[in-house]
C-alpha cells in the first residue's frame, strides 16, 4: 500500500512519465516525416527534434528528482510506521 503522504509524489511521477511518452511519440513522428523532406526542411525539422529532446531531458531530471522524493517519503513513512509499532 502506498503511504498517503507519498500519493501526490507518485501522481507527479506518473504525469512526468506520460509527458515523456508523448514527447517520444512526437519525436518519432517528426523523425519519420523528416526522412521525406528536402535538406532545408530537414534542418528545420531537426531543430524541432532537438528542442523536443531538450524538453525530454528536462522532464527526465524532474522525474529523477520526484523519484528521489518518493524514496525519501517511503523511507520516512516506513521508519515512522516501524517506530509506532514498536511502542
What does the domain layout of the chain look like in residue ranges?
4-81
CB-CB neighbours of 1 under 10 Å: 3
The Cα 79–Cα 77 span in angstroms is 6
Residue 82 has pLDDT above 60, yes or no: no
Model pLDDT for residues 36-52, shown as the tens digit of each residue? 989 899 999 999 999 99
**Residue 65 grid cell:** 528528482
Rounded-to-integer distance, Cα 13 and Cα 63, Å: 6
pLDDT at 20: 98
Predicted model pTM: 0.79
Amino acid at each position: 500500500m502506498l503511504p498517503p503522504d507519498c500519493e501526490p509524489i507518485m501522481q507527479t511521477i506518473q504525469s512526468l512519465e506520460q509527458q515523456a511518452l508523448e514527447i517520444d511519440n512526437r519525436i518519432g513522428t517528426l523523425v519519420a516525416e523528416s526522412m521525406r523532406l528536402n535538406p532545408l526542411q530537414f534542418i528545420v525539422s531537426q531543430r524541432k527534434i532537438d528542442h523536443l529532446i531538450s524538453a525530454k531531458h528536462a522532464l527526465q531530471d524532474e522525474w529523477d528528482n520526484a523519484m528521489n522524493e518518493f524514496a525519501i517519503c517511503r523511507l520516512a513513512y516506513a521508519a515512522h510506521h516501524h517506530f509506532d509499532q514498536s511502542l
